[in-house]
Structure 1
Amino acid sequence: MRALGRHVLAEFYGCPFDVLNDIKRVEQTMVKAALEAGAEVREFVFHKFSPQGVSGVVVISESHLAIHTWPELGYAAVDVFTCGDKVDPWDACNYLVEKFRAEHMDAKEIHRGTDVLLPQVAVNI
């Protein structure tokens, strides 16, 4: 079944504290992951929490990449949502595993917008 988009929900475990707590490093890595996957970056915003943690989003023409880190746990939650056939969200995830030095990644892919592509049936109630 064809879908409008592919949404990978990924969890990174065993990442070094200093990697996940460095806002510039997280920002640059997320932007580079989008580019490595072939996406067109439109804009991005990242926020550093106190005492630790980073959240951010990279808006791409094909949708977005988002992250929230828990450096004290060595954990990051990442979403990579892409539309169309040009960008593979797994390319971005694999790049992030390497650059965040994750010991382990759990991820699943959800196909978005499949119902939109199916014929709609009108129901009168």
Structure 2
Amino acid sequence: MTSDYHNIGYHTIWDIYGCNIQKSSFVPEIKEILNKVVEELNLGKVQEAYKQFHPFGATGFILLEESHISIHTWPEKEFAAIDVFSCKPFDTEKINSILKDFFETNEINTKVITRGELTRIKTASPT
């Protein structure tokens, strides 16, 4: 991702296939990977929440000073979906490598969506 500052933010999504089932089934593991991404990107964590599904599968969300990061897992399908929305540009290839190592897979699709073109956004203040 380039750092052109012509947008409000970047919404990056990862579809991760062939996930190690043990790494995607339970909250402690998804908490570990979300926090690792936050740390690697040097983002400011505000609050986090997680939900364990039974018998397995989990969802996690971290509210960031720069926006948010979330994960949803389907271990029975060996699939995980991760989103990062950030007003701060970051190196998606670095995160791809971290996710591949963590989930023990090479099957990752990454999409970067630019949000809020600054040339079209007005400046205003609440009264």
Q: TM-score w.r.t. structure 2 length?
A: 0.83
> Which residue in 1 is equivalent to 2:113?
110
Note the C-alpha offset of 1:66.
0.6
> Which residue in 1 is equivalent to 2:80?
76
> Which residue in 2 is equivalent to 1:43?
47
CA distance in 2 between partners of 1:119 and 1:72 (Å): 43
CA distance in 1 between partners of 2:91 and 2:35 (Å): 13
Conservation of the 8 A alpha-carbon contact between 1:14 and 1:74: yes
Say if 2:98 is the partner of 1:95. yes
Conservation of the 8 A alpha-carbon contact between 2:96 and 2:108: no
Q: CA RMSD in A?
A: 1.8
Note the C-alpha offset of 1:73.
1.0
Count of aligned pairs between the two proteins: 117
Structure 1, unaligned runs of 5 or more: 121-125
CA distance in 1 between partners of 2:121 and 2:37 (Å): 36
CA distance in 2 between partners of 1:89 and 1:77 (Å): 18
